[in-house]
A and B are shown apart, each in its own frame.
Chain A
């Protein structure tokens, strides 16, 4: 089963964390830091699998990650999951995000944590892969979005803001996550690790 799904940026700032097993608040933060520490020092041309850190259960668990522009998507899974399968699940997840947010970027994840969680909830439920059919996921999310639109705009505002940002003047938009990291100015990185 999937133990945890973590998204953080190149500086280790968490953008989404979802744990399917119970850990204390502190442990969760340590897991995020440890995972970032493990994942961030990997080169580009090495395999996408890692043994989990001690906190998440050591060598029984695997970290399977993908790196998109500024974001790391990490799935912590136990030995019962297929590594390559999860690797492509991450791809499905990101593609779905991309379709839902129309060129997803890090800002989308920040402003729409709840929405991202909902999309994830359609794919993975209680640590089990529930749906891998992208169209089906989008249909579900859309049906909820319709309801959202009918309730008018609170959450629409940041969405509009972000899409305005996106449409300003970015001629070539890469397919997946692309826009930079807004916490880039934060110095003293070591203290964050």
Chain B
């Protein structure tokens, strides 16, 4: 080969000069490129190259700026500058000439011009605007090649703002007779879709046409767009699933021209693309998935030829099969394919096999078990990439039982690894595993130490801070905490004593913090020793200045220990104090201002022990520090500033949003279900600036946990765990799962009786080495089968105590129980109502309670069935009649879920009083101003209370089971009395108006009119009656919807009627409805919440008072809010809770609540401007009333 090279090189100059002679002056420019290349090859150093290129660039500059340069010479110059740019030398002066060349040159020169433009410029380059006209002109050209070039450049780079200018022309090209033009047009539109999805929304139908194009190339190009769009919202395109299946069938069946075959596989890339689309469409959708089974089967069957590209298709098939709704046959085939991959001698396939295993292992852990020996072999593979992928797989199957082995393997790898990105990634994973599954303190601290040592400065900064937080916040057991901390101190002291020089800065910071905070926990550790160790750190030149300040702080914390020891300890403590003095003096003149300040502080503190205890209290309870992150102490300042006319503060994203709205041409709002995934928005910033800024804000708060979990995982886009109790897994598991556990030491093949010989690893004669491996296997895969059995039995996770359970987990479970367990939440609601009725009715209530306690069980039973609403035929009428006969109306609201007995009532059990409110919306009865005044006036005398006739429940049966308020009297006269009740239907608020005729004669022509400007009112039935018979009751109902948010709305109306032989009368009614009546819980997952949160623009923040500050403030406050306002508590994560609700048939509103400094910091977001404010008002009310 070197022979060849030499010949080439020696021949080159001669050949070039030969050209020179023949081509005369015209070719002189050619030789310039030749000369350049030749001289570069002759150079001996980087420095020379730099000099040469500089000279060359100068020459180019001169040439391009000369007016005599022809376009042809320009083209040649452009090629040279492309060459220089490729070598990394900037030739920005040629950019403008590249554009000029594209504009003015002949076809050939134009092509070089366009090429140079697409290589030199980026999307945001200002010069790109100059290209727009050229592109426009070329798009209209009759020369196909020019059109092609224009489309190519458009799909490479084009200024986003100028898309509207050329969009019609590009669209037009979709109908061009030439396939190549159509194809490029589709590609250009794809580009537009990526950078400005709004602008191509109107041409979605044309994409469909492209998909059906008779040219396979155009169809293939359109698949890119579809893949993108389906990724964003699969639901909108499910109807196309059939088409994609048909296309794939045709492709697989070889219906495409032979040209598209690659190694006799028909259009493999199109197949891959289609399989991906199908996976997205079939996910979580059984009926769509069913369409695909045949073609998937066919694809697997056809992909038999032993070639790379068929494996690519197979791999894609496997992924699709595991993503869509499962079908057993296909799964078996897919599992076999994975087996073939993993066992393949071809290393590329092995890699893919491991990747596929990683992908499916969470659903089908058995597959990993089957291949455990191969996996073990891969751990020691010579290819580092294979090792990495194996570790990734192991990371997926880690559990409390195999964590030590797996982490050990990972650390082994880390110690030998030199790739930064691999270290960063793996260190984060080990830290996650260690925190999750650590078997004991010692292991945990040692593992973390290794992580800090290996990870060094590379690792994510949140790893050390999480570790410190874990130490600081502690767990539920004080003793455990103490042991953990003591162990940490011990191990760090010995680390510092042996060899601190090699420790990375981050680790030193961790060490100094821990020593400063907790070294006093270790009894036999003298503070002087620790201070001495720390001070020695300060003296090392390699210690960075920010580490120094960590060390200084630690010394500061320890200095009392040293000073305080004077009384007891004697001489040594003196030494400690002296040391502190010395250090502070030494650094009080340091050039580093930070350090100097700390030294001076230290000096002061060490002289004044009292001050010291105040500033740095020992063993201060974590969390007792109050940081007012809402900066409420500035409120006064802010309001003053506002009074002086300052503009109110707007959060950055809101400002940007406004800016964007001002600038943007298109004002159409983003769709509610904005289909951005969190991960994608960080990469592609095409949505809106808001998203980015919010995502950073959010990740700091509520979604931190899901985020972190997501970051460590493969991007599997939420593969659903479709293998349920009676799914596919159990049938395989039953024979295999348990046997692995039992026969862990037995040779592996025996555990897989069903597998063909080809699949089982050959270990017929278990040599020593094999036995080692099998032991490793048994330790690695130990947890897997038990994990499976838990799925199988539907039992909760095996009782492996998670070691470092943070405290807040409790609140989590508490909230879960309060939301799931129905007996809890009504309790709160009942409490609330008890109090509110106490307030309203004053002295009446004790008597009511007394009555309750006397209430016969039978009655409560009747009410109980009523409230539960589980019997279709309700004995309501009877029950109510009885009630009405026997007792006072308050008892109407009584019911008790928990089999009521008089005894319970005697204990004044609130649920007894208010059990009826389980269904009834527990908000204060707004529409009953009169009723409440009445009761307060007359409440002192209960027997007189039923002045109004007892109100039997005349709710229509279809509404009876829905949550509803009590019937509240509205108005009455001698013949007609009106009352109303609010029923919370899923889709609307139903206002039921009950008209009861109290007089002896029938009333005629009763008609009801109801109006409210703020609401959308629809009458359902019964608003006009011909007659209302004597002593009878009729209801009419209205559905109400609130379109724009209001805190309260007044509904007014009138009921007119005519007495049989008398004049007509009219009764005015009015009722006040609150926003809370129009709210419904919005049930979504944390992830959906996160997405939605980012897409909302209107936000409001406020601090609210907390309930129950001693117990569990967040949970109790949230459950109160949940019950009063019908919110849905999405998740509670530590001291933060996320809550969602929506306005009826309308906008969502998301709340992010955080307990902070004794207050509940609420952050509301909604797409509708007024909603957060209105909701906030009700939140405040709800919490105050409590």
Contact = CB atoms under 8 A, between A and B. Distances in A.
B183 A191 contact: no
A85 B191 contact: no
B385 A46 contact: yes
Interface in B379-422: 382-383, 385-386, 388, 419-422
Given A46-B383, A118-B111, A184-B5, A14 B86 contact: yes
B210 to A, nearest CB: 13
A186 B217 contact: no
Contact of B187 (A52, A60, A130): A130
Contacts of B4: 170, 178-180
Interface string B201-243: 0000000000000000100010010000000000000000000
A107 B12 CA distance: 10
A178 B5 CA distance: 10
Q: How large is the interface on B (under 10, 10 to 19, 20 to 34, 35 or more residues)?
A: 35 or more
Interface string A72-103: 00000001101111011100100000000000
A32 B86 CA distance: 10
Contacts of B308: 84, 87-88
A165 B383 contact: no
B715 A131 contact: no
Contact of B27 (A58, A154, A184): A154
Interface of B: 1-2, 4-5, 7-9, 11-12, 15-16, 18-19, 23, 26-27, 29-30, 33-34, 37, 40-46, 72, 75-76, 79, 82-83, 85-88, 90, 106-108, 111-112, 115, 119, 122-124, 145, 148, 152, 155-156, 180, 183-184, 187, 190-191, 217, 221, 224, 259-260, 262, 267-269, 272, 276, 308-309, 311-312, 315-316, 347-348, 350-352, 382-383, 385-386, 388, 419-422, 424-425, 715
B388 A25 contact: no
A125 B184 contact: yes
B27 A157 contact: yes
Contact of A161 (B15, B42, B155): B15
B19 A160 contact: yes
A79 B41 contact: no
A98 B347 CA distance: 27
A132 interface: yes
A148 B145 CA distance: 12
A113 B83 contact: yes
Interface residues of A, number: 86
Contact of A47 (B43, B123, B262, B348): B348
A63 B293 CA distance: 33
Given A88-B268, A154-B76, A188-B44, 4 more contacts: A47-B347, A85-B268, A125-B152, A125-B187
Contacts of A144: 111, 145
Given A22-B122, A113-B82, A92 B262 contact: yes
Contacts of B19: 157-158, 160-161
Contact of A180 (B8, B27, B86, B425): B8
Nearest to B85: A25
B15 A165 contact: yes
A48 B145 CA distance: 36
B1164 to A, nearest CB: 34
Contacts of A43: 382-383
Interface string A118-150: 100100011011111101100010011001100
A95 B20 CA distance: 32
A191 to B, nearest CB: 4
Interface in A33-88: 38, 43, 45-54, 58-60, 69, 79-80, 82-85, 87-88
Q: Which 7 A-B pairs have the closest CB atoms?
A: A180-B5, A84-B312, A22-B122, A46-B383, A29-B88, A161-B15, A58-B421
Given A14-B87, A148-B108, A182-B41, A192 B262 contact: no
What does DSSP make chain B's interface, helix, strand, loop or mixed? Answer: helix
Which of B15, B276, B382, B424 has the most CB atoms of chain A within a 10 A radius of its CB?
B15
Nearest to B426: A59
Contacts of A111: 33-34, 37
Given A88-B312, A135-B259, A153 B155 contact: no
B217 A182 contact: no
Contacts of A52: 421
Given A58-B421, A111-B33, A126 B155 contact: yes
8 contacts: A47-B351, A51-B422, A53-B419, A53-B420, A88-B312, A144-B111, A154-B72, A165-B8
Contacts of B382: 43, 46
B123 A22 contact: yes
B79 A113 contact: yes
A104 to B, nearest CB: 14
B155 to A, nearest CB: 4
B887 to A, nearest CB: 69
Given A47-B386, A82-B312, A85-B312, A168 B7 contact: yes
Contacts of A82: 272, 312, 315-316
B190 A191 contact: no
Contacts of B11: 164-165, 168
A130 to B, nearest CB: 6
B309 A85 contact: yes
Contacts of A54: 420-421, 424
Contacts of A114: 79, 82, 111-112, 115
Contacts of B112: 114
Contacts of A18: 119
A175 interface: no
A164 B422 CA distance: 47
A38 B422 CA distance: 12
A148 B90 CA distance: 29
B12 A161 contact: yes
A84 B57 CA distance: 41
B30 A154 contact: yes
Contacts of A46: 347, 382-383, 385-386
B42 A121 contact: no
Contacts of A69: 1
Contacts of B107: 147
A80 B231 CA distance: 11
A126 B156 CA distance: 5
Nearest to A181: B5
Contacts of B191: 126
Nearest to B30: A157
Given A46-B383, A191-B45, A59 B425 contact: yes
Contact of B86 (A26, A49, A113, A132): A113
Contacts of B1: 69, 180
Which of A15, A28, A113, A188 has the most CB atoms of chain B within a 10 A radius of its CB?
A113
B385 A51 contact: yes
A187 B47 CA distance: 12
A59 B309 contact: no
Given A25-B88, A133-B260, A191-B45, A179 B8 contact: yes
B268 to A, nearest CB: 7
A38 B351 CA distance: 18
Interface string A1-44: 00000000000001111101010011011001000001000010
Which of B86, B90, B148, B419 has the most CB atoms of chain A within a 10 A radius of its CB?
B86
B152 A49 contact: no
Which of A84, A140, A144 has the most CB atoms of chain B within a 10 A radius of its CB?
A84
Contacts of A131: 183, 217
Contacts of B75: 154
A129 B187 CA distance: 10
B27 A186 contact: no
Contacts of A16: 86
A56 to B, nearest CB: 9
B413 to A, nearest CB: 13
Nearest to B106: A151
B57 to A, nearest CB: 14
Given A118-B111, A180-B1, A186-B43, A128 B9 contact: no
Contact of B45 (A32, A45, A153, A188): A188
Contacts of B425: 58-59
